């Protein structure tokens, strides 16, 4: 009877986890096993039945214990631990009762009396039925911390005209979908908040009022947190002061932002305390560091949807976690990020997966187009308990937060938002009218400094790429043509490279593209061809690349990636990490810095030649500013 009740609870959880098909199937299997075993045990009296019951219910209980201690990284939806809830705890208790009873029969035997009274089972039966019903009723309203494990940029982005094809809100605060539209999907009750996030500039005041679903107490707490952060954080404006007081870099400056963490503060019992921020975030500009944000980190093991976190600011704030980072020690023995997990959620040898058990939230003291609690973009966005479309700490994924690095040293500049640009102007600038409809032949005229010849070459390259590249439209077609993945799909984009093409006789030829870029859907894992990445041969550097479109086209390199092996010897390789602060690979090897450029076959917010964001942006020529061609951008 206990196994029957546990199986029923697992059955009720199947639909509640439909957003995680793998986890839903696990519950289907557990339901069938536990209920099936119970029915067999009721109907038959065979010796093998009891040991099978120990195995079936013991497996269910063991899995529950693991998810409450560490999480199960290879099951989508169970990557981080959850606190015990009524429904899952009741299910585990019933499973334990079933397993213990079956084990007792295995060890002690069963009654030899064929006509034992069954009346003594009536009370346990009623109790089990009551516990089962209560657990199923409670489970239907539980909001889990399960989220997508790869928060990649989705294909469509939000725009300042209020339109969006995937539900993301724009930087000016337009609704991410229908105003204040609430919806429920399975166990997750989500609300798309109207008018939030909004562009933020502390010099213009703190505008967090009037957000639907936010109580006066939550608004007051959030406002106080921002004000206290603006007052307290500047004491660490000098990064040397922060280092002297215990903060150290995690080695992520190549993203354009560098996090400094003070690990003892994570477990100090203080919560959202600007006098003791667990992490300080600096914008990187060459050797300069500008303090722009605190990243407050909750105590280890507190889920990102725990009420102690979510109730603080309500819909104003979004907590997230990073469960795809691989850590190792740098030359000074400090833990730094050396790699990202692969598609299976595994870290390269010599590194350790970490960070997924810590919820965190940003509070900005510098202007940000996505509000005072905005997350970073790309890999920096982490994983929340809701989809990207429903996050209230993200707006326009390609431009919010100045993510691009801007020089061969990994420096970052801000072509769209800096401390002197009012947020309203940022919002307007980011969503300038576009002339790229996605057609093969597009108009690239009107950019200053572009000659008619450069314009024609750029338009011809886009036309040739968009008409030719679709023949590689699936990963199967790409692999059949000799392309191999470098294993970077967790970033939201996966590059397939044909290493033989890099030094062949073809240049900027879409019949022989050196690399194909597929966008990865984080929910389904499906991959869509969106761009070519043309790579020049070994004789080229950023100083002597072909002049395709003048200011329309900007080449970049990747000088901070570590690969598993030499692809020119083995035919393939994978990205296994990034270089340490001194430019060396803790494991793997660096490859030659071949110049490269994207040509998008779908509209892109920064134009048809845009680079990716974060680590994917690479490094450009010293002295250049990262281009974002708003006039020819994609939406």
Residues 19-41: tens digit of each pLDDT: 567 778 888 999 999 999 999 99
Contact criterion met (CB below 8 Å) for 16 and 139: yes
Percent of the chain scoring above 70 in pLDDT:
79
pLDDT of residue 249: 93
Predicted TM-score (pTM) above 0.75:
no
Q: Find the mean pLDDT for residues 589-596.
A: 93
pLDDT of residue 113: 59
* C-alpha closest to that of 484 among 538, 592, 564: 564
**pLDDT bracket for residue 404 (50, 70, 90):** very low
Beta-carbon neighbour count of residue 144 at 10 Å? 23
pLDDT of residue 471: 94
Contact criterion met (CB below 8 Å) for 14 and 27: yes
Specify the residue for token string 């006509």. 115
Segment of 106-115, 322-331, 426-435 carrying the highest mean pLDDT: 322-331
Q: Which residue has the higher pLDDT, 142 or 612?
A: 612
Q: How far apart are the C-alpha atoms of 308 and 301, rounded to whole Å?
A: 12
**pLDDT bracket for residue 164 (50, 70, 90):** very low
Q: How far apart are the C-alpha atoms of 57 and 364, rounded to whole Å?
A: 48
Q: How far apart are the C-alpha atoms of 607 and 398, rounded to whole Å?
A: 11
Beta-carbon neighbour count of residue 332 at 10 Å? 10
Beta-carbon neighbour count of residue 99 at 10 Å? 23
3 state SS of 74: coil
3 state SS of 16: helix
Q: How far apart are the C-alpha atoms of 321 and 375, rounded to whole Å?
A: 11
Cα distances (Å, whole numbers) of residue 140 to 85, 124, 191: 12, 24, 17
Would you say residue 133 has pLDDT above 80?
yes
pLDDT of residue 516: 97
Q: Find the mean pLDDT for residues 72-78.
A: 68
pLDDT of residue 428: 26
pLDDT of residue 395: 77
Half-sphere exposure of 27 (CA within 13 A, CB side): 22
Would you say residue 169 has pLDDT above 80?
no
Cα distances (Å, whole numbers) of residue 618 to 156, 253, 318, 542: 22, 12, 28, 12
Q: In terms of DSSP H, where are the helices of 168-251? A: 216-232, 239-244
Contacts of 102 (CB under 8 A, 6+ apart): 50, 51, 52, 53, 54, 57
**pLDDT bracket for residue 423 (50, 70, 90):** very low
Q: How far apart are the C-alpha atoms of 632 and 609, rounded to whole Å?
A: 10
Lowest mean pLDDT among 50-64, 363-377, 570-584: 570-584
pLDDT of residue 403: 34
Contacts of 592 (CB under 8 A, 6+ apart): 538
What is the 3-class SS of 289-315, one letter each residue?
EEEEEEEEECCCCCCCCCHHHHHHHHH
Would you say residue 519 has pLDDT above 90?
yes
Dihedral (CA of 241, 247, 248, 251) sign:
negative
Q: Find the mean pLDDT for residues 417-439.
A: 40
Directed axis angle between helix 49-69 and helix 86-108, to 10°? 140
pLDDT of residue 481: 95
pLDDT of residue 137: 82
pLDDT of residue 73: 64
Percent of the chain scoring above 90 in pLDDT:
45
* C-alpha closest to that of 469 among 505, 503, 516: 516
* C-alpha closest to that of 616 among 378, 326, 343: 378
**DSSP per position, 128-148:** HHHHHHHHHHHHTTPPP----
Q: Over the chain, what is the mean pLDDT?
A: 80
Lowest mean pLDDT among 158-162, 193-197, 211-215: 158-162
pLDDT of residue 242: 96
Q: How far apart are the C-alpha atoms of 491 and 514, rounded to whole Å?
A: 20
User: Is the backbone of residue 603 left (phi > 0), alpha (psi -120 to 50) or beta?
Assistant: beta
Q: Find the mean pLDDT for residues 157-179.
A: 34
Contact criterion met (CB below 8 Å) for 294 and 360: no
Cα distances (Å, whole numbers) of residue 510 to 426, 504, 516, 535: 35, 13, 10, 11
Would you say residue 97 has pLDDT above 60?
yes
Q: Which residue has the higher pLDDT, 438 or 214?
A: 214
**pLDDT bracket for residue 627 (50, 70, 90):** confident
**DSSP per position, 400-457:** TT---B-STT--B--SS--TTS-HHHHHHHHT------S-SS---TT-TT--HHHHHH
Would you say residue 123 has pLDDT above 60?
yes
pLDDT of residue 409: 29
Lowest mean pLDDT among 34-43, 52-61, 393-402: 393-402
Q: pLDDT of 536-559, one tens digit each?
A: 999 999 999 999 999 999 999 998
Q: How far apart are the C-alpha atoms of 496 and 530, rounded to whole Å?
A: 12
Q: Which residue has the higher pLDDT, 22 or 421?
A: 22
pLDDT of residue 100: 93
Would you say residue 105 has pLDDT above 70?
yes
Segment of 41-55, 403-417, 451-465 carrying the highest mean pLDDT: 451-465
Contact criterion met (CB below 8 Å) for 583 and 539: no
**DSSP per position, 205-229:** ----TT-TT--HHHHHHHHHHHHHH
CA Rg, the chain, in Å? 27
């Amino acid at each position: 009877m206990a196994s029957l009740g546990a199986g029923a609870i697992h059955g009720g959880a199947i639909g509640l986890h439909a957003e995680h098909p793998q986890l839903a199937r696990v519950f289907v299997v557990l339901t069938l096993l536990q209920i099936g075993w119970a029915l067999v045990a009721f109907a038959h009296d065979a010796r093998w039945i009891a040991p099978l019951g120990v195995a079936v219910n013991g497996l269910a209980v063991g899995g529950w214990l693991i998810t409450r201690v560490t999480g199960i990284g290879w099951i989508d939806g169970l990557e981080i631990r959850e606190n015990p809830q009524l429904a899952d705890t009741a299910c585990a208790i019933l499973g334990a009762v079933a397993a213990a009873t079956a084990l007792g029969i295995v060890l002690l035997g069963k009654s030899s009396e064929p006509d034992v009274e069954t009346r003594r089972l009536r009370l346990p039966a009623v109790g089990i039925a009551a516990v089962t019903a209560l657990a199923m009723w409670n489970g239907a309203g539980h909001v889990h911390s399960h989220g997508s494990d790869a928060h990649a940029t989705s294909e469509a982005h939000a725009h300042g005209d209020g339109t969006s094809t995937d539900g993301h809100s724009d930087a000016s605060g337009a609704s991410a979908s229908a105003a204040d539209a609430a919806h429920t999907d399975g166990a997750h009750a989500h609300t798309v908040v109207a008018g939030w996030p909004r562009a933020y500039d502390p010099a213009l005041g703190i505008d967090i009022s009037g957000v639907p679903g936010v109580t006066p107490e939550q608004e007051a707490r959030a406002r106080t947190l921002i004000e206290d952060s603006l007052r307290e954080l500047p004491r660490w404006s000098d990064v040397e002061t922060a280092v002297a007081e215990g903060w150290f870099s995690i080695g992520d400056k190549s993203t354009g932002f560098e996090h400094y963490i003070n690990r003892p503060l994570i477990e100090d019992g203080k919560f959202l305390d600007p006098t003791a921020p667990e992490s300080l975030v600096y914008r990187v500009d060459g050797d300069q560091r500008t303090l722009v944000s605190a990243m407050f980190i909750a105590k280890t093991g507190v889920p990102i949807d725990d009420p102690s976190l979510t109730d603080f600011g309500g819909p104003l704030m979004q907590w997230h976690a990073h469960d795809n980072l691989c850590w190792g020690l740098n030359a000074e023995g400090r833990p730094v990020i050396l790699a990202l997990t692969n598609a299976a959620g595994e870290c390269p040898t010599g590194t350790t997966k970490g960070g997924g058990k810590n919820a965190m939230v940003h509070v900005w003291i510098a202007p940000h187009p996505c509000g005072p609690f905005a997350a970073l973009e790309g890999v920096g966005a982490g994983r929340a308990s809701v989809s990207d479309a429903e996050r209230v700490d993200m707006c326009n994924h390609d431009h919010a937060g100045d993510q691009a690095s801007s020089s061969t040293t990994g420096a970052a500049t801000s072509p769209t938002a800096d401390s002197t640009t009012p947020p309203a102007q940022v919002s307007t600038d980011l969503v300038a009218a576009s002339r790229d409809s996605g057609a093969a032949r597009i108009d690239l005229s009107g950019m200053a400094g572009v000659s008619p010849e450069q314009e024609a070459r750029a338009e011809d390259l886009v036309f040739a790429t968009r008409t030719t590249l679709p023949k590689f439209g699936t990963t199967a077609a790409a692999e059949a043509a000799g392309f191999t993945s470098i294993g970077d799909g967790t970033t939201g984009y996966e590059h397939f490279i044909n290493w033989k093409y890099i030094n062949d006789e073809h240049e900027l030829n879409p019949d022989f593209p050196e690399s194909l870029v597929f966008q990865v859907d984080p929910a389904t894992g499906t991959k869509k061809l969106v761009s070519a990445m043309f790579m020049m041969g070994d004789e080229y550097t950023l100083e002597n690349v072909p002049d395709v479109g003048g200011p329309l086209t900007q080449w970049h390199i990747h000088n901070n990636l570590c690969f598993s092996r030499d692809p020119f010897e083995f035919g393939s390789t994978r990205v296994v990490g990034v270089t340490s602060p001194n430019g060396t690979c803790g494991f793997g090897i660096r490859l030659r810095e071949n110049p490269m450029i994207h040509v998008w076959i779908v509209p892109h917010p920064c134009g048809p030649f845009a680079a990716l964001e974060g680590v994917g942006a690479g490094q450009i020529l010293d002295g250049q500013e990262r281009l974002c061609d708003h006039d020819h951008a994609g939406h």
